[in-house]
Amino acid sequence: MDSFESLLESLKCDVCLDSIQQEDDVLVQCSQCLVCVHQHCYGSDLVQSDITPEHLCNWKCAECAWNETHCQLNQSTPCFMCKQFGGAMKKYSAESWAHITCINWNKYIFFQDKFKDSTNISLEMLHLYQKPDTLCYICEFSEGVMIKCDNRVCKLNFHVRCGIQKGLIKDWQTMNMFRRDDDDFDCNVFCQDHLEIFEEKRFKFPLEILNNRREARKARKAVRDSRLKKLRQQRKTKRKRHKDIVREWKEKKVKRAYYIHS
Ligand SMILES: [Zn+2]
Ligand SMILES: [Zn+2]
Ligand SMILES: [Zn+2]
Ligand SMILES: [Zn+2]
Ligand SMILES: [Zn+2]
C-alpha cells in the first residue's frame, strides 16, 4: 500500500507539473506510453461531461490513439516547437504535433476552449514571431520555436521543454508567484541568471511586501491619472476661453468695420 501511495505521489501532470488532484480533476495516465495529465490540463475527451471511470482507466493519449489507428506502434513524432519526443502532445496542424506545455508558455499562441484541441493561430505561423537563426541557449539547437527570457534587456531564448528540464519553468503553483500583475494571467519566465536574481529579490521581499508595493504603485498611478485629468480639463477650458475671446474680437472687428464704412 505504501509503495502504491508513493507511486501516486510521484505521478506528476506533464502539463502543469503538479501532483495535486481534485475530485473533478484527477490525474489520468495513458495506458500505452504512461504519460500523466490532469483532466483539465489535457482537455479533449477527458473534460467531456459523460466521462466514465472505465474510460479514465483505459485512456490513451492523442499520440498513442493516433498511432493505434494508423498502425504505427511506438512511432512517435517530435514536438513542432521543442523538437523533443514523448510527453502530452496533440496534433495541431496537418503534419505537426506539439506539447501542451509548449503552447501554454508561448505568448503568441493559445487554446480556443477548454478542450484544447485548436489554437488561435497555426503552429507554423509562430516562426513569424521569431528572429531567424535564434538559438536555444540550453540545448544549443536552432530548430523549433523558442520563448525569450522575460528580463527586458536579456536576449536569451530557449525551448519550453528545455526550460522545464532546467527548472526555469516549475509547477503551476510556484509559477503563480512569477505573475506579472495581480490580474494578469501571464507569468514571467527567466533564464537561469535572471531567475536567480528574481528569486533573490523575492526572498528579500516576501509576497506581502511586493503586493504592498504593487498597491502603492497602483495608488501612485491613480494620483497621477487624476492630476492628468485635471490638467486636461484646465487646458480644455483655457482653449474654450481663448476661442471665445477670438470670436468676440472678430465680432468687434466686423462691427467696427461696419461703423467705419457706414
Ligand atoms: Zn495538470
Ligand atoms: Zn500515450
Ligand atoms: Zn514541445
Ligand atoms: Zn532547447
Ligand atoms: Zn535572462
Q: Give the residue extent of every domain in the chain.
A: 2-204
Span from the CA of 136 to the centroid of ligand 4 (angstroms): 5
Task: Name the residue with higher pLDDT: 2 or 53.
Answer: 53
Q: Which residues are placed with Cβ below 5 angstroms of ligand 5, an ion?
A: 149, 151, 154, 156, 191, 194
pLDDT of residue 2: 52
Distance (Å, rounded) from C-alpha 103 to C-alpha 169? 13
Identify the nearest ligand to the CA of 146 by its number: 4
pLDDT of residue 255: 72
Span from the CA of 99 to the centroid of ligand 5 (angstroms): 23
Span from the CA of 98 to the centroid of ligand 3 (angstroms): 5
pLDDT of residue 106: 94
Name the fold adopted by 2-204.
Answer: Herpes Virus-1 (3.30.40)
Distance (Å, rounded) from C-alpha 61 to C-alpha 78? 15
Identify the nearest ligand to the CA of 27 by its number: 1
Using DSSP's 3-state secondary structure scheme, residue 247 falls into: helix
pLDDT of residue 113: 92
Average pLDDT over the chain reads: 87
**What is the tens place of the pLDDT at every residue in 119-157?**
999 999 999 999 988 999 999 999 999 999 999 999 999
pLDDT exceeds cutoff 70 at 184: no
Span from the CA of 206 to the centroid of ligand 2 (angstroms): 41
Looking at the DSSP assignment, which residues form a beta bridge with residue 36? 29
Evaluate whether 116 touches 43 at the Cβ level (below 8 Å). yes
Phi/psi region, residue 181 (left: phi>0; alpha: psi -120 to 50; beta: rest), is beta
The x, y and z cell numbers of residue 155, run together, are 536576449
- Half-sphere CA count of 258, side-chain side, radius 13 A: 6
Identify the nearest ligand to the CA of 161 by its number: 3
User: pTM, whole model, 2 decimals?
Assistant: 0.75
Evaluate whether 196 touches 166 at the Cβ level (below 8 Å). no
Evaluate whether 116 touches 44 at the Cβ level (below 8 Å). yes
Percent of the chain at pLDDT > 70 equals: 89
Burial (Cβ within 10 Å: 0-12, 13-18, ≥19) of residue 53: exposed
Distance (Å, rounded) from C-alpha 200 to C-alpha 36? 32
Evaluate whether 33 touches 86 at the Cβ level (below 8 Å). yes
Split at pLDDT 50, 70, 90, the class of 1 is very low
Phi/psi region, residue 130 (left: phi>0; alpha: psi -120 to 50; beta: rest), is beta
- Distance between start and end Cα atoms, the chain: 114
Distance (Å, rounded) from C-alpha 84 to C-alpha 163? 12
Q: How far is CA 18 from CA 11, 26, 115, in A?
A: 9, 11, 20
Evaluate whether 82 touches 102 at the Cβ level (below 8 Å). yes
pLDDT of residue 74: 64
Span from the CA of 19 to the centroid of ligand 4 (angstroms): 25
Distance (Å, rounded) from C-alpha 114 to C-alpha 185? 16
Identify the nearest ligand to the CA of 60 by its number: 2
Mean pLDDT across the stretch 67-95?
88
Lowest-confidence segment of 54-63, 104-113, 135-144, 208-217 by average pLDDT:
208-217
**What is the tens place of the pLDDT at every residue in 83-109?**
999 999 999 998 899 999 999 999 999
Distance (Å, rounded) from C-alpha 191 to C-alpha 149? 5
